[in-house]
Chain A
Amino acid sequence: MMQTANSMKKRWWKILAILLIGYTITAGLLADVPRLPILNETIRVLHFHVPMWFGMFMLLATSVVYSVKYLRKPTQQNDLFASEFANTGILFGILGVTSGSLWAKFAWGTFWTSDPKLNGAAIALLIYFAYLILRGSFDDEQRRARISAIYNIFAFATLVPLLFILPRMTDSLHPGNGGNPGFNSYDMDSNLRMVFYPAVIGWTLLGVWLTSLRIRLNIIKQHTDERFEENLLRTRNHAMADDH
């Protein structure tokens, strides 16, 4: 009884994530949406496209926090957290670009246009693909952890002006153009907002959940690897003892 209560306490956010995403999918597809020219029913993608960017930015920011933590206290765990949060952030980024590209096809008539937000998103993905390649090009684990942490912090800091300052200076097809990197509070009516805000929280929680699963998987893999090596060593020692 105590155990279930304890695990409930730990798992409430996962249940919340499921509930919020369930609500997002049903309400997002069924609830009333404002009838706007051009956008029409495609406005429903809002609940699946925009939260990806919120999620991506929060996950990448968390990844940077763990990179800073790694430089202050180099533990394997901090490195693992930084890399897995970045991985999920990249997944969200890819989903955001794909959903946005589909939406653009129906709303603006093309899959890709030269819009500061589209280009910013593409560059953000390029930076984090480079991060993955950098991680792959080391043999030594500590070296990899330290140098990719440094690149992560460095790249994130240059990403911030790209995503939050440059879009303010140019016109954009996105709402809230020329002055606002996100959107203005009066861009959405209250019906949309009722679904949109829960959607942001739900998708972000799902991202954290995915990350925690990958982290646990990695830790299990490390343990099995270690056990495998121990067994190998033990059988070899036995064999050598038998020889003597």
Chain B
Amino acid sequence: MLWKEIMLLLRKEVVLEWRQRYALNGILLYVVSAVFVCYLSFNLQSGRLQVVTWNALFWIIMLFAAVNAVAKSFVQERAGRAIYYYTVASPQGIILSKIIYNTLLLLLLATICLLVYIVVMGNPIQNGGLFALNLLLGAAGFSVTLTMVSSIASKANNHSSLMAILGFPVIIPILLMVIKVSKNALDGLALSVSYDEMIILVAINAIVIALSYILFPYLWRT
């Protein structure tokens, strides 16, 4: 029952996004120009960036892009439409569908970001499979935390700056783990080296999803 509802809401999100493509295009352009600004700021030939810098810069760009992309899931939703959906759907269905939708959105964003980033900054990735798996876990982690933060921030008055203030400290544990695994993937270490970090990542995601599932109904009632 809940699963069916989530699928319906998810489809609604995708259809809406596709109809107003300017928002999607906007966030894609945001990522591309962010990468390009960083590339020009470092003033480097391609492939000269140290691995540590490459890694940190990539995830910082992803973090800012994710905050901007997820912010619109609640903050930019039109009030009238939100009230309508909230009367016909359950809060659990809404939050879970938003989390799944944002994960997909962030995966798309990460893929495009990575492509542009590799073109201008060079490609030091040695363990591609691990990097891709980590990208998936990272996108899911960013999405679960930021979706809940976005729904909290949307209730307040100055939501645009609140989104970053509330989100950044909460996302740091996930960011640290993701950066660590990503560094392992860049160095070409085997998958088994990163098991601990990945288990923690999955565990944090599970905790945050469970919390969102419990807390969102209270938020929704206001």
Q: Interface residues, chain A, CB within 8 Å of chain B?
A: 71, 123, 126-127, 130, 133-134, 137-139, 143, 146-147, 149-151, 153-155, 157-158, 161-162, 165-166, 169
CB-CB under 8 A from B157, the residues of chain A are: 137-139
Between-chain CB contacts (< 8 Å), 30 pairs: A71-B215, A123-B172, A130-B166, A133-B162, A133-B165, A134-B156, A138-B156, A138-B157, A139-B157, A143-B222, A146-B218, A146-B219, A146-B222, A147-B219, A150-B152, A151-B152, A153-B215, A154-B148, A154-B152, A154-B208, A154-B211, A155-B170, A157-B207, A158-B173, A158-B207, A161-B200, A161-B207, A162-B173, A166-B176, A166-B200
In the assembled complex, which residues on chain B have CB atoms less than 8 Å from the CB atom of A71? Answer: 215, 218
Set of chain B residues within 8 Å of A150, measured between Cβ atoms: 152, 215, 218-219
Query: Is there contact, CB below 8 Å, between A130 and B169?
Result: yes
The complex places the Cα of A104 from the Cα of B51 at a distance, in Å, of: 31
A-B contact sample (12 more), CB < 8 A, given A143-B222, A161-B204: A71-B215, A130-B169, A134-B166, A137-B156, A138-B156, A143-B155, A147-B152, A147-B156, A151-B152, A157-B207, A161-B173, A165-B200
Query: CB distance A134 to B148 under 8 Å?
Result: no
Contacts of A143 in B (CB 8 A): 155, 222
Q: How many A-B residue pairs have CB under 8 A?
A: 77
State the 3 A-B residue pairs at the shortest beta-carbon distance, nearest first: A126-B169, A127-B169, A137-B156
How close is B159's CB to chain A, nearest CB, in angstroms? 8
Q: Tell whether B190 is near chain A: CB-to-CB under 8 Å.
A: no
What range describes how many residues of B lie at the interface?
A: 20 to 34
Residues of B at under 8 Å CB distance from A? 145, 148-149, 152, 155-158, 162, 165-166, 168-170, 172-173, 176, 196-197, 200, 203-204, 207-208, 211, 215, 218-219, 222
Nearest-neighbour CB distance to chain A for B168, whole angstroms, equals 7
Residues of A within 8 A of B170 (CB): 127, 154-155, 158
Q: Which residues of B contact A146 (CB under 8 A)?
A: 218-219, 222
Is the Cβ of A147 less than 8 Å from the Cβ of B211?
Answer: no
Residues of B within 8 A of A166 (CB): 173, 176, 200
Bound complex: CA of A165 vs CA of B207, how far in Å?
14
The chain A residue sitting closest to B215, CB to CB, is: A150
A126, B169: Cα distance in complex, Å: 6
- A150 and B218 CA atoms in complex are apart in Å by 8
| Residues A157 and B211 in contact in the complex (CB < 8 Å), given A130-B169, A166-B173 | yes
User: How distant is the Cα of A147 from the Cα of B168 in the complex, in angstroms?
Assistant: 18
Q: Provide the residues of chain B in CB contact with A133, threshold 8 Å.
A: 162, 165
Q: How far is the CB of A82 from chain B (nearest CB, A)?
A: 14
Complexed CA–CA distance, A85 and B208 (Å): 24
Q: How far is the CA of A174 from the CA of B193 in the complex (A)?
A: 25
Q: Could you tell me the distance between the alpha carbons of A212 and B169 in the complex, rounded to whole angstroms?
A: 29
Contact check, A137 vs B204: say whether CB atoms are below 8 A apart: no
Report the separation of the CA atoms of residues A71 and B165 in the bound assembly, to the nearest whole angstrom: 23
